[in-house]
Amino acid sequence: MQRRVAVLGATGSIGASALDVIARHPDRLHATVLAAGRNVDALLALCERHRPRHAVVAHAGAYPALRDGLRGRGLATQAHCGDEALEALVAGEDCDTVVAAIVGAAGLPSTLAAARAGKRLLLANKESLVLAGELLMRAAREAGATVVPIDSEHNAIFQCLPDAQARAGLRRILLTASGGPFRGRRRDELGAVTPEQAIAHPKWSMGPKISVDSATLMNKGLEVIEAHHLFGVAGERIEVLVHPQSLVHSLVEFVDGSTLAQLGLPDMRTALAVGFAWPERIASGVAGLDLLAHGRLDFEPPDLDAFPCLRLAFAALAEGGTAPAVLNAANEAAVSAFLQRRIGFLAIPALVEDALAALPSTPATSLAALRDADARARRRVEQAVATHP
Ligand code: NAD
Ligand code: MG
């Protein structure tokens, strides 16, 4: 069977890795839908290369350039724009597999549409799980969607915990973290760091938002919540270990004292190949791991004083309800302000903490309640940034 794949966030870092794996397997994978935010030139180049049936831009202003660019290149790809068009394509007949790699809560509607339509869902958009994990996982279960996490840690856990029987004997999850570019620094050494320093990740090449999240350790905090939803494990049974080599992608410990880990070079094409072919294995373009060349594997505890975002995420998970939605939205707004040089690095955890304190958690009974909490948290952070001295 040839998988017909929708790549959402096609012009991003995960999108590029997904299309690289797809292009290695023309017999079994074809990109039929490509979607991006507003970068029309990059999307047109991808259409020329991968010949999808449909191309989608999020922003209406970018639509004429997409439509005319496709025509000018003589491509049969149809142009679309907006959330509704994207949701319809994701749920429709032209794809059976969806790579959800839009960044941020903006990815929730299309991710949810893929789950509801019972598609194979390669889920990179972790913010949608943090914001609406219960709803999303329930929709996937009810529609029979297979969810394969495309986050190196969760993909590792997925590989170590293939079925319900294995999950029944799980004692805890050990989530590894590289520690980011500022590992080893004290809090008082972080006040003046710049966006350029924050996005220069030592081991992974990723988009700007997740790179800043890695520098604050919020990325690991979001991943704790992500693991909770994907594997049904309470926060108390998830431990974070800093592992600077980024070769052990995560571990699971069973009640019998056995610990399993998944190792590999830090390259997301491995996780994507697992997602496309599972339970089979296909080539991803990633070389095997030469342990003798790497020599050692180190582990250390995270520094919650220098990187309070991880602590805030554990607290939001324990609180439940709308707290994770507030955490995620406040973080997105704060990271965006940091990248625009409107606030300093240490203001990111401070603004998230303030939003969590000011917007007490309520039960997250509906998508509307979660969206409302998300909007209120963004507004609060944006107001604080605007009145910042
Ligand atoms: P990126 O910034 O490189 O790419 C983001 C993509 O989303 C782009 O194609 C952009 O056009 C698109 N986009 C942005 N806003 C949009 C909108 N409103 N509507 C439609 N498309 C929109 O980001 P990335 O590093 O590829 O990360 C994507 C997602 O995958 C994030 O949720 C991230 O946390 C997750 N993830 C990434 C990595 C990685 O190695 N890069 C690893 C694990 C998880
Ligand atoms: Mg990760």
Ligand 1 atom closest to residue 210's alpha carbon, by position in its atom list: 34
Ligand-binding annotation for 258, yes or no, is: no
Q: Which pLDDT tens digit goes with each residue over 216-251?
A: 999 999 999 999 999 999 999 999 999 999 999 999
- φ and ψ of 268, to 5 deg: -70, -10
Collapsing DSSP states into helix, strand and coil, what is residue 159? helix
pLDDT at 166: 81
Where is pLDDT greater, at 378 or 162?
378
Q: Pick the last residue of a domain from 129, 149, 169.
A: 149
Atom of ligand 1 at shortest distance to CA of 86?
A: 20
Q: Is residue 106 in some structural domain?
A: yes
ipTM above 0.90, yes or no: yes
Does residue 333 surpass a pLDDT of 80?
A: yes
| Number of compact structural domains in the chain | 2
Q: Mind listing the pLDDT tens digit for each residue in 106-138?
A: 999 999 999 999 999 999 999 999 999 999 999
Q: How many Å lie between the centroid of ligand 2 and the Cα of residue 34?
A: 23
What was the pLDDT predicted at 389? Answer: 60
- What is the rounded distance in angstroms from the CA atom of residue 118 to the CA atom of residue 141? 8
Q: Give the per-residue pLDDT at 365.
A: 86
**How many whole angstroms separate alpha carbon 308 and alpha carbon 367?**
28
39 among annotated binding-site residues: yes
Kindly report the CATH number assigned to the domain that includes residue 13: 3.40.50.720
Mutate which of 7, 8, 11, 13 for ligand 1 pocket (most atoms within 8 A of beta carbon): 13
Residue 138 lies in a domain: yes
CB 25 within 8 A of CB 51: no
Specify the amino acid at residue 163: D
Residue 304 phi, psi (nearest 5): -75, -15
Question: Is 48 marked as binding a ligand?
Answer: no
Domain boundary among 128, 149, 170: 149
Distance 189 CA to ligand 1 centre (A): 29
Residue pLDDT, tens place only, 40-60: 999 999 999 999 999 999 999
pLDDT value of position 74: 98
The reply to whether omega before 279 is within 30° of 0 (cis) is: yes
Among 101, 124, 149, the domain-final residue is: 149
| pLDDT tens, position by position, 22-33 | 999 999 999 999
Please give the Cα distance from 180 to 298 (Å, whole number): 14
Amino acid present at 273: A
* CA–CA gap between residue 31 and residue 125 (Å, rounded): 18
Domain of residue 353: give its range. Answer: 320-389
Phi-psi region of 104 (alpha: psi -120 to 50; beta: other; left: phi over 0): left
The reported pLDDT for the residue numbered 162 is 78
- Residues 159, 262: contact at Cβ < 8 Å? yes
Length of the chain: 389
The alpha carbon of residue 316 and the mean position of all alpha carbons in its chain are separated, in whole angstroms, by 18
